[in-house]
Amino acid sequence: MGLIEGEGSFQLWRNDLVAAFGLVLTERQLPVLEKIKEFLSINLGFDSYSLFKLNFSSVISITHQKARSNSKASVLILIKNIHILNNYFVPYLSDMQFITKKGKDFEDFKLICRLLYTGAHKDNDIKSLILKLSLTMNNYRLSTNSERVEPLSSSEIDTLVNAVPFVEHLEDGRQRDLFTGKIIHQHSSSIYKIIKPNCFLEQTEVLKQTLFEAAEIVGVNIKTLSKILDVKDNDPIEVKGSLVKRVAVFYNKKVK
């Protein structure tokens, strides 16, 4: 926790409204960040499908940053996947006690993550309040900050806390617009499980990250497979002798 308080950052990327947690260390401390990533992978409570996605993607990334001016080269661990942040990382940190102003940043970050996860930011008034809240965090909160900071009023905070969700998260990783009832395909958080029989009357399970890869394995067009999978909610379905299932990743039933 001390490392997060000293070197960590809870922030909102305001241009594209993305919540992000980052922790920066010197390049020589790369092994420390690698151990932190390993620790998070083991201790956040991911299921086997989420670990597959984690191991074969950059949802928790470590990147190198070149030296600038008088600063040394550094390494950054970054988490900006809203499913990981809201469903695993924030709940994990919620059980810990902050002793600096970073704790206030975390509480604001927790609220922002929930609003983004539930799609409440699709309301323009809520979006404006989220942006306003972000301008009271991090350096804006420090006594050394010379810029004028306008804190949210209690009524504005209540508005955020009680914001109406716009998105329902389904158990197969897709999201549904609560007002139109339509699936929001571009925000799917899924992988695909294919169970294929073989000549020895056994079954082989194959996991693929994308619908395109799954369609290629079973030998059908990607649009065809999408339509087939959309017929049933979270049930395996037979496609050319194989069973195919869309599986949610970074989904936590305990988090609403």
Residue 154 in tokens: 């209690």
Domain presence at residue 172: no
Same domain for 208 and 97: no
Domain presence at residue 176: no
Same domain for 120 and 63: yes
Residue 254 confidence (pLDDT) = 75
Domain presence at residue 232: yes
Same domain for 134 and 108: yes
Same domain for 65 and 105: yes
Domain boundary among 135, 165, 195: 165
Structurally, how many domains does the chain consist of?
Answer: 2
Contact 13, 54 (CB under 8 A): no
Which residue in 76, 87, 78 sits closest to 59, CA to CA?
78
Same domain for 108 and 198: no
Residue 115 confidence (pLDDT) = 98
Domain boundary among 136, 165, 194: 165
Same domain for 20 and 121: yes
Same domain for 190 and 120: no
Residue 145 confidence (pLDDT) = 66
Domain boundary among 165, 197, 230: 165
Same domain for 140 and 51: yes
Same domain for 229 and 188: yes
Vertex 69 angle, CA 66 and 70, to 5°: 100
Residue 67 confidence (pLDDT) = 84
Domain presence at residue 177: no
CA dist., res. 191 & res. 193, Å (int): 7
Structural domain harbouring 143: 2-165
Domain presence at residue 205: yes
The total of other beta-carbon atoms located within 10 Å of residue 226's CB is 16
Contact 248, 190 (CB under 8 A): yes
Same domain for 75 and 156: yes
Same domain for 209 and 101: no
Residue 252 confidence (pLDDT) = 86
The answer for residues whose C-beta is within 8 angstroms of residue 123's C-beta and 6 or more apart is 163, 164, 166
| Residue pLDDT tens, the chain, 256 long | 688 988 999 999 999 999 999 999 999 999 999 999 999 999 999 999 999 999 999 999 999 988 877 778 999 999 999 999 999 999 999 988 999 889 999 999 999 999 999 999 999 999 999 999 999 998 767 666 667 778 999 999 999 999 999 999 998 999 999 999 999 876 679 999 999 876 555 668 899 999 999 999 999 999 999 889 887 666 789 999 899 999 999 998 777 6
Q: Could you tell me the CATH number of the domain that includes residue 160?
A: 3.10.28.10
Same domain for 157 and 97: yes
Which residue in 65, 68, 69 sits closest to 33, CA to CA?
65
